[in-house]
Structure 1
């Protein structure tokens, strides 16, 4: 008589499909929708605040994903999580071919906003330009 294999740390939970490293956004969305029985692309679009034609174009690979707003990727993650599907923002950003942003902490964001509000208007505009340039560089690298 043999014993069943023991699970080890890092093993996927039963019924949870591990992310695939070579998965693009279309494949990720298809896989996660399959893990949400009865849910549709239209429901995901509504839940995530994305137009259905746009979401459908991503799934059918007729529209690129490199310019998707980070908030839309996070909104899809949140929708799947509400449906009981395990996923992460990292999984979505990687699948969309985007750099994975660092963790967002309320305290850090509040500090940045406080500093921004103390700057004269010309410095605020300069800070925004710098931040946009940093974002562009991070997309290239």
Structure 2
């Protein structure tokens, strides 16, 4: 577990340290719920907008984590942090065995959407196919 920054100025990096070695998503979520007194799997699922049976299957390791929507992983991190659990999106993604996406930037997303909307239908389809190929290549890396 992270014990805090080892040198001055490392506080931002400490929050992004990877999950403890060998900790998968089930172990991370179990540990996180232990750190959130009074919160249950059902509470976490509801707050994150994830179906309870799905979250329960991840925690019982009866469903794989390779296809979890990145927004669901971000939601888990946000909810856990709002409950006072020390975790980061990086820890959640790494525990799920998923590549850690770069930070979202509303201005870049808005610009990309503007460009997409200005394209003819055929070019929009090509852009979506290219983006899908980029995502698959990133998850294979």
TM-score band by shorter chain is 0.7 to 0.9
What is the aligned-residue RMSD (CA, Å)?
Answer: 1.6
Larger Rg: 1
Query: Which residue matches 1:14?
Result: none
Residue segments in structure 2 that go unaligned for 5+ positions in a row: 1-5, 12-17
Query: Which residue matches 2:56?
Result: 56
Quote the offset at 1:24 in angstroms: 0.6
Query: Which residue matches 1:92?
Result: 92
TM-score (structure 2 length as normaliser): 0.85
Kept after mapping to 1: 8 A contact 2:19/2:95: no
Alignment of 1:27-38 (within 5 A): 27-38=27-38
Query: Which residue matches 1:42?
Result: 42
Q: Report which structure shows greater RCO (CA 8 Å, sep ≥6).
A: 2
Query: Which residue matches 2:103?
Result: 103
Residue segments in structure 1 that go unaligned for 5+ positions in a row: 1-6, 12-17
TM-score (structure 1 length as normaliser): 0.85
Query: Which residue matches 1:3?
Result: none
Query: Which residue matches 2:77?
Result: 77
Quote the offset at 1:8 in angstroms: 4.8
Runs (4+) of structure 1 exceeding 6 A deviation are: none
